[in-house]
Each structure stands twice: as structure tokens, then as C-alpha cells.
Chains A and B, each alone.
Chain A
Amino acid sequence: MAEPLLIVEGLRIAYGGIQAVKGITFHVDPGETVALIGANGAGKTSTLKALARQLDAAGGSVRYQGREISALAPHELVGQGIALVPEGRGVFARLTVTENLEMGAYCRHDKAEIADDLERIFALLPRLKERHGQLAGTLSGGEQQMLAMGRALMSRPRLLLLDEPSMGLAPIMVQKVFEVVQEVASQGMTILLVEQNARLALQVSRRGYVMESGDITLTDAAGTLLDNPRVKAAYLGE
């Protein structure tokens, strides 16, 4: 088995005196999609934010491709091949769809290949192509989510961090967004997915970790977790 792309060991995050994440350990292998599921306030998003260097961890190590990255500045991650799709989408509202996607390639200088990638993203997300000249702020929530994913892909990442892609979306759009996640994953992208919608998250993932009040309490293959009575009762509403 290949060396994991991302290894998180003993990650702790604290807000003031309150421990939000209490020393969790997990890993992501190259090419797999891993879901981090759990209830509101379990520490999922905090974990992802710490990985993306949007907030400082209180302890633990984060190794990516064998290299410690917990001291890098957030903007340096893109150069390392890590792309974040932030919670709440965070598109550049007053830029057009195309301009948003081009911003994703901000750190790249290969103009011709950027143009090729833009076409590839448009092929993957035809809705965006239809609306390429429209301001991102005028797109629907689902379209904005797809745009945020497209923008992250424009940096040609090796690891995609997805923070709550289903948040605030209509059910039909949630379905569509997850189809895109699956499509991207099937092309070989490594994805770490943080999600409240446990069922969908596990359906597109290979493995899953369940977080409960700052700890990882359960981990298994995604299919097994879907059948786990505890997970069913707590997160799948069965």
C-alpha cells in the first residue's frame, strides 16, 4: 500500500479554554475519498480549517506528502497541491464565473494549460459554461458550490478539501453537487470531505471517520459505516 497522502496525528484545536478537537488521528490515501462526518459542533469544520491553515492548531502534526505543513501560511498550501473549498462556498460575488475560475489558477503561470483546464471544468460543470459571463453572486447556491469546486480544481490540486458542500442547498442541488464530487473522485482526485449529510457523504466515499464532540469515535469502510446500527441511529435517521 502506498504511503498516505495526508497523515494527521494527535491534532488538537482549542477556542480559548475550550477544546474543540481533542487529539484526533486519521489519514487519507492517494486517490481515495474520505468522509469526516458528525453532528453539528463535533469539530469537523475546525479540523478542516486547521488543515487548510485558516486557524492554528493547539497541537499535533499534519504531514502531507511526508512533509509537516502545520506551520505553512494558508496561501502556501495551493503551491503544495492542497485546495480548499471553503464552508459557505465563498465565491467572488462581483466577479464573473470565468473570472472566478481564473482566480483559482492564480498561482499558475502556464497560460495555455490554464485555458485547457478552464474548458475541462466547463465540460465537467456545463451549468457554469452556460453562465460563464454572469456575476457569481447572482448564481443559485448549488451553482455557487459548483463554482467553488471548479475554482479549487483550477489550481490542479492533489488533495481537495471540501467543507460542508451540501450546506444551505435545496435537496435537488445537494444531489447534483454530490454527483460532481463523485465524478471528480472517479477521475482519481484525493478528497477529504467534511459533511453533515452523512448518508450522501458515505455514499461517495471509500472510508469514513465519525466525529463526536472533538474525538474520532468510529472509523471504517464507508459501506460498513452505512450499515452500522449506531451510525444509522445517530446520523442516518433510521
Chain B
Amino acid sequence: MSWNDLKHDRRVLWAGYAAIGIVLAVLPFLVGAGLGNAWLRILNFAMLYIMLALGLNIVVGFAGLLDLGYIAFYAVGAYLYALLASPHFGLHWPVWAILPLGAVVAGGAGALLGAPTLRLRGDYLAIVTLGFGEIIRIFMNNLNAPVNITNGPQGISSIDPFHVGGVTLAKPLSVLGVTVPSLHAYYYLFLLLALVIIFVTIRLEDSRIGRAWVAIREDEIAAKACGINVRNIKLLAFSMGATFGGVAGGLFASFQGFVSPESFGLMESIMVLCMVVLGGMGHIPGVILGGILLTILPEAFRHAAVPLQKYAFGKVVVDPESLRMLLFGLALIAVMLYRPAGLWPSATRKRELQGGSK
């Protein structure tokens, strides 16, 4: 039996899914025991970044609209959660109300950004979206006077942890006799939502809407000539992408317990964009891979930098933080030179860059 036959065998397929499922289920315990809680937190952030990267992938990868202010929607979701579930206003709304609200508000913000930029493409669109991202961050930074809404640069702390009914993820949970520590519980929550978002994205890609996105990416005039309402389809791309960002933002606030404008700078937007581009624009597995790698690798650099330097030179020569950015930059350049379509591009994109013969 060849590999291709194996791949198409139902039982093999299910066995593969089951194996992935088991690995994902025991992963937090392995990571927690083997590498410590710091890495478990990083794993949780990887899940959040997967959600963000998949959201941005709708805008950049599917619809071809270069968005440099995507992190603004993450900020909207995070601040909404922080304002509605913290002592700051004394509000403690339930999670099941805030997260959907965050998704809707972020989606609205997405449409708001989309509306004035409908006629823009490429560099021009990038500049406007960049400005939008900065405006949101500066708003968060300055909305502490005359009326204190966002608490300015100090940010909002003591945000309620994720809790449903009487169950809170802040304390270890006892499930069927197994004690699940808080970090592990967040892992399962984020994993679940990441899977939901992956599923939604896959369905979207296969839908009429998904095909319309690709059509406007390729040629707007031809898309119109095919009967696609370009305006609505673009707004929908901005809006859907922003929705994912809003959900991820709410989860971030609940997990971190603290939000401040600092977390939503331009660098974050660029980071998410890199995940999409490096992983393989428009290709869902590639984008997921990009999200995981770009969350984990920089942290690995950071953790390895000090011991390696001590070993090589006997002392720390370069600050690990600057070394991290240096290596990150080099990695970006290398990938773009040697794998211009991304680490795991879609078959079509790969074919295109290899000269197009089938």
C-alpha cells in the first residue's frame, strides 16, 4: 500500500486524527512537567496567535487586503472584556455575554475601518490601516481624562478570570478525579476556541463568500463583472477577520488579568502579519504553523541566548532581547529568500512560484 492509498484510507485518517487529539490532550501536562509553567503560558499564547493569524489571513490571505492595524481588533476585544469584567467600573458581566459582544463590537470596528478604505489597495491601504491601529492604541492610552474610561497607560488590572457559572479557571479544577491546574484549563479552553475558529475558516474558504474573496483579490473589475458585490464582500472580510481578533482579545484579557495599551502596538500587528506571510498566505495549515512557530521560536531564542553565551564566552555579551530580534529578523529574511511562498504554502501558490506547469 503506497503512502497515497494510506492517506485516503478512512481508518488511517481517523487514527491520525485520534493521535493528534491525544497529543493535544496530554500536551499541557508534558510541557508543564518537562519545561515548566512559563512554556505552558507560551503554548497558550500560541493558541491566541493562531486565532489572530487566522483572522488576519481572511483579510490579507483570502481577500488580498493588506492590513497593518489588525491588532486594533484584538485591543477592542481585550478592552471590552477588561471594562465589563473588572473592578475598574465595578462591572462583572458573565463571559458568555462579553465574548460574543466582543466579537460583534470588533466586527463592527472592522466594518468601520473597511468603509473608508474601500477604494484603496496595496500600499495605500496599508498606510490607512496602520494609522487606524495606532489611533485605537492612542485612544486606549489617553482615554483616562477628562472621564477615566481606559485608565490610560496604567492599564486595567484585576480582570475577572474566565468563569462560567460557579466554575472559574483561576483555580485548579477537579474533573473526574483529575486535578487540572489553571494554566492547563486555559489551554483546553483556547484549544477548543482555536479549533472552532479553524473549522469556521475552513468552511468559509469553501463557501461562496470565500470564492468571492479570492476573486476580488485577483481582479476587482472582473469580480464585479462576475456579479460580486465588491463593497459588501470587502466589508465582510474586514468584519469577519476582526471578529476573530475580538474573541482572541477577550480571551487574552481573561487569561492575563491585565491589559494596557502597550500590548497592542504596531509591532504586534506586524508579528501577526509575519505569521500569515511566513506560514503561507491564504493556506490555513500554513498560517497555523506560522502562528505556532513565531510564538515559540522567539521565546526559545530568548531562553537559549543566556546559557549559550555563558557557555561560549563565559559571560553574557549581547542582551538576549536584542539578540532575539536580530535572529528573528534573520529568520524572516531567510524564509523569504528560500521559501517565498511561505513555509507551508497552498499547492496553487507553490505551483505559481515554481513557474506554473502542472
| A interface residue numbers (CB < 8 A to B) | 52, 54, 73-79, 83-86, 90-96, 99, 102-104, 106-107, 133-135, 137-138, 148, 151-152, 155
Contacts and interface: CB of A to CB of B under 8 A. Distances in A.
* Shortest 10 CB-CB contacts between residues of A and residues of B: A78-B227, A138-B356, A90-B222, A92-B218, A107-B227, A74-B224, A84-B225, A90-B219, A75-B229, A106-B226
B227 A54 contact: no
A135 B225 contact: no
Given A75-B224, A90-B225, A138-B352, 4 more contacts: A77-B227, A106-B226, A137-B352, A137-B356
Contacts of A133: 358
A134 B358 contact: yes
Given A135-B351, A137-B356, A78 B225 contact: yes
A71 to B, nearest CB: 15
Contacts of A103: 211, 215, 223, 226
A92 B356 contact: no
Contacts of B227: 75-79, 106-107, 155
B24 interface: no
B221 interface: yes
Bin chain B's interface residue count. Answer: 20 to 34
B85 interface: no
Interface string B154-166: 0000000000000
B276 interface: no
Contacts of A79: 227
A152 B352 contact: no
Nearest to A84: B225
A197 B227 CA distance: 29
A86 B222 contact: yes
Contacts of A83: 225
Most buried by B among A91, A93, A96: A93
24 contacts: A52-B225, A54-B224, A74-B225, A86-B222, A91-B219, A92-B218, A92-B219, A93-B219, A94-B214, A94-B348, A95-B214, A95-B348, A96-B348, A99-B211, A103-B211, A106-B212, A106-B228, A107-B227, A134-B358, A135-B348, A135-B352, A138-B352, A138-B355, A155-B226
Contacts of B212: 106
Contacts of A104: 226
Contacts of A92: 214-215, 218-219, 222
Nearest to B228: A75
Contact of B226 (A54, A73, A78, A93): A78
Contacts of B222: 86, 90-92, 148, 151
A74 B230 CA distance: 9
Contacts of B230: 75
Most buried by A among B227, B230, B357: B227
Most buried by A among B219, B351, B357, B358: B219
Given A92-B214, A134-B356, A54 B221 contact: yes
A76 B225 CA distance: 9
Interface of B: 208, 211-212, 214-215, 217-219, 221-230, 348-349, 351-352, 355-358
B358 to A, nearest CB: 6
A84 B215 CA distance: 15
Most buried by A among B218, B224, B226: B226
B211 A106 contact: yes
Nearest to A52: B225
Contacts of B228: 75, 106
B115 to A, nearest CB: 16
Contacts of B218: 91-95
B225 A152 contact: yes
A148 B214 CA distance: 17
Nearest to B225: A84
A104 B212 CA distance: 11
A233 to B, nearest CB: 35
A104 B215 CA distance: 10
Contacts of B356: 134-135, 137-138
A76 B208 CA distance: 17
Most buried by A among B217, B224, B225, B226: B225
Contacts of A74: 224-225
Contacts of B223: 103
Nearest to B230: A75
Nearest to A138: B356
A133 B357 CA distance: 10
Contacts of B219: 90-93
A155 B356 CA distance: 28
Nearest to A136: B218
Contacts of B358: 133-134
Contacts of B214: 92, 94-95
Contacts of A84: 225
B208 A86 contact: no
Most buried by B among A75, A104, A106: A75
A96 B214 CA distance: 12
Contacts of B355: 138
Contact of B221 (A73, A77, A90, A102): A90
A49 B208 CA distance: 26
Nearest to A152: B225
